[in-house]
């Protein structure tokens, strides 16, 4: 099976599966081909859907007013949004078509207003500044792109200057109560359409001015935990950039710590262990929503805190861990609305939550737990026809709109994280030895899989079966071992360690460059490869789903 699947992978031609729709698509396909990324499966529908996703992704990459092509949100959303397309979407695309990610980031800097405000979206009609609409920190996405692609200092300097000016705007206009928290002036400031979090709050800032909230509102302004966490994380990455550019990062770290202190002082409830908005009356807005996951994805808190959040909320089937996670509202809230047939953050599982989630889990080394999120979503996506904005948390059926870049990128990203070859930071590669599980009615999702990627001129291939994970470099077997592990190497394929990716303790034999090494590894355990031996460096155990 391994040889047959490897041959199938090598015979795949992107041009046979992806039909360009516009002239610039040929250049994008060439860039994809240069990455060496291909995916093959022995059965099921996932392989066909994978290349359908790539074809639809190209329709989301278009120029605006004669500019170089940038990533657009897709579906009914005609433009590029800072909260998503310009941050987390572009961050994922950076591993596949990096030129478009870079152009997308730079487009926001180019259209920055004189007073420092970045547009919340870019469209054919120009930049829009009506609201702020922040979720994923732009600085994190920019830094990750910089690390992946040769550390272009000119790009970093341009983006750094823009984000410094933006931070000044936020500090000036979104701290009217003097708490140090970032304030929400409207529903759309966080992109939380129809969420009960913002019931009885205007959708947009007062008179469409991002610096104003409605003076007659009984609730505004909110001290917003997700916005505050965003700026905390933003400042931490600005500190890294400052050092990289020859400046001191100390001032940014101090500002970040001040943001973090404000976040916990005003927005964190120690009894509920949850982050809430605080309204103008100094009352907590007790709506448990995906705000929690957003804050966690901004690198707030230590692993102990995140583990508690997993136990109490994120892996709790009465809270957010639906059959197809994560819901945008806690399921035990009477205001919970599971319907996904319209643009709603009142309950449905939104793909923007799903592509933001991996960073929160991986930041705290919760790799096994993340796989439980990816498995049902991949099962659902393998049958995708439209690539919707959301899906039903009960059935996994596609919801509102179509050709939506976050769901397209979710499929491409989850395949790579679960059973592919992923570039991580400036130096690492992950080869993950898992397979998609047949979650729904026993219907086969993919069978066995194969994946390839070219890095620094070296071509790697990965074949996964239920029993084995095999990595090829050129025509030679580089590493072979039991399924259920993640192989960590440098960009040249030199083994650095392995991570347990299953609830099972994986035992067997690892063969690296012809040498046999016995292994026994638990879920989430990291073993470093040193002097021909595998030595445990981290062993944090597993947090299991709960039904409380």
Q: Which domains does the chain have, with CATH numbers?
A: 85-295 (1.50.10.10)
d(CA 258, CA 284): 21
- By the 8 A CB rule, do 80 and 70 touch? yes
pLDDT in tens, the chain (548 residues): 688 999 999 999 998 889 888 888 999 999 999 999 999 999 999 999 999 999 999 999 999 888 899 999 999 999 999 999 999 999 999 999 999 999 999 999 999 999 999 999 999 999 999 999 999 999 999 999 999 999 999 999 999 999 999 999 999 999 999 999 999 999 999 999 999 999 999 999 999 999 999 999 999 999 999 999 999 999 999 999 999 999 999 999 999 999 999 999 999 999 999 999 999 999 999 999 999 999 999 999 999 999 999 999 999 999 999 999 999 999 999 999 999 999 999 999 999 999 999 999 999 999 999 999 999 999 999 999 999 999 999 999 999 999 999 999 999 999 999 999 999 999 999 999 999 999 999 899 999 999 999 999 999 999 999 999 999 998 899 999 999 999 999 999 999 999 999 999 999 999 998 899 999 999 999 999 998 999 999 999 999 999 98
Q: Residue 100 burial by CB count (10 A; 0-12/13-18/19+): exposed, middle or buried?
A: buried
3-state secondary structure of 116: coil
**DSSP string of 4-22, one letter each residue:** HHHHHHHH--HHHH----S
Q: Residue 531 burial by CB count (10 A; 0-12/13-18/19+): exposed, middle or buried?
A: exposed
> What are phi and psi for residue 8, nearest 5 degrees?
-65, -45
d(CA 203, CA 217): 12
Please give the DSSP secondary-structure letter assigned to residue 396. Answer: -
pLDDT at 304: 98
**421 alpha-carbon distance from chain centroid:** 16
Question: Nearest 5°: CA angle at 304, between 141 and 394?
Answer: 70
pLDDT at 1: 67
3-state secondary structure of 102: helix
pLDDT at 282: 98
pLDDT at 2: 85
Q: At what angle do helices 225-244 and 153-173 cross, to 10 degrees?
A: 140
Reported as type and span, the H/E element at residue 519 is: strand 515-521
d(CA 482, CA 470): 9
As a whole number of angstroms, the longest Cα–Cα distance in the chain is 73
Task: Say how many C-beta atoms besides its own lie within 10 A of residue 243's C-beta.
Answer: 14
Q: Comparing C-alpha atoms, which of 51, 53, 61, 52 is closest to residue 28?
A: 61
Q: What's the whole-model pTM score? A: 0.97
pLDDT at 34: 95
d(CA 5, CA 445): 16
- By the 8 A CB rule, do 370 and 297 touch? no
Look at phi and psi of residue 489 and say left if phi exceeds 0, alpha if psi is from -120 to 50, else beta.
Answer: beta
* Cα distances (angstroms) measured from residue 464 to each of 242, 252, 490: 42, 44, 20
């Amino acid at each position: 099976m391994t040889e047959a699947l490897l041959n199938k992978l090598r015979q795949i031609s992107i041009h046979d599966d992806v039909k360009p729709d516009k002239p610039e698509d040929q250049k994008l396909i060439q860039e994809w081909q240069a990455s060496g990324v291909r995916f093959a499966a022995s059965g099921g529908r996932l392989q066909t859907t994978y290349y359908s996703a790539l074809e639809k992704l190209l329709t989301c990459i278009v120029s605006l007013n004669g500019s170089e092509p940038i990533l657009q949100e897709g579906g009914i959303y005609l433009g590029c949004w800072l909260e998503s397309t310009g941050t987390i979407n572009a961050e994922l695309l950076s591993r596949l078509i990096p030129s478009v990610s870079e152009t997308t980031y730079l487009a926001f800097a180019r259209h920055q207003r004189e007073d420092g405000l970045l547009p919340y979206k870019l469209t054919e009609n120009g930049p829009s500044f009506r609201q702020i609409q922040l979720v994923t920190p732009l600085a994190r996405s920019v830094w990750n792109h910089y690390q992946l692609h040769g550390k272009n200092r000119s790009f970093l300097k341009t983006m750094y200057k823009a984000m410094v000016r933006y931070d000044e705007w936020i500090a000036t206009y979104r701290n009217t109560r003097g708490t140090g928290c970032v304030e929400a002036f409207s529903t759309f400031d966080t992109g939380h359409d129809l969420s009960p979090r913002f019931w009885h709050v205007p959708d947009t800032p007062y008179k469409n001015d991002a610096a104003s909230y409605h003076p007659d509102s009984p609730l505004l302004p909110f001290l917003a935990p997700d916005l505050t966490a965003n700026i905390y994380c933003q400042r931490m990455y600005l500190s890294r950039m400052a050092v990289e550019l020859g400046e001191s990062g100390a001032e940014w770290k101090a500002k970040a710590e001040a943001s973090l202190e404000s976040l916990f002082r005003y927005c964190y409830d120690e009894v509920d262990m949850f982050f809430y908005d605080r309204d103008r009356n100094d009352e907590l807005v007790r709506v448990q929503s995906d705000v929690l996951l957003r804050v966690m994805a901004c690198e707030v808190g230590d692993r102990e805190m995140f583990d508690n959040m997993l136990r109490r909320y994120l892996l709790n089937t009465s809270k957010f861990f639906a059959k197809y996670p994560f819901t945008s509202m806690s399921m035990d809230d009477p205001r919970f609305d599971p319907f996904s047939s319209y643009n709603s953050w009142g309950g449905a599982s939104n793909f923007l939550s799903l592509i933001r989630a991996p960073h929160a889990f991986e930041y705290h080394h919760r790799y096994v737990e993340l796989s439980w999120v990816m498995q049902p979503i991949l099962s659902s996506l393998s049958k995708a026809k439209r690539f919707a904005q959301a899906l039903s948390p009960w059935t996994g059926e596609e919801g509102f709109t179509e050709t939506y870049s976050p769901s397209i990128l979710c499929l491409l990203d989850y395949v790579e994280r679960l059973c592919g070859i992923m570039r991580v930071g400036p130096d690492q590669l992950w080869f993950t030895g898992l397979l998609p599980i047949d979650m729904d009615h026993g219907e086969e999702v993919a069978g066995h899989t194969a994946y390839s990627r070219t890095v620094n001129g070296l071509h790697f291939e990965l074949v996964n079966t239920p029993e084995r994970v095999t990595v090829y470099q050129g025509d030679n077997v580089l590493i072979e071992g039991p399924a259920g592990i993640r192989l960590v190497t440098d960009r040249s394929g030199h083994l650095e360690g392995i991570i347990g990716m299953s609830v099972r303790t994986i035992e067997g034999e690892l063969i690296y460059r012809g040498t046999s090494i016995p292994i026994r590894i638990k879920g989430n355990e990291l073993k470093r490869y040193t002097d021909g031996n595998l030595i445990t460096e981290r062993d944090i155990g597993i947090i299991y789903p709960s039904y409380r």
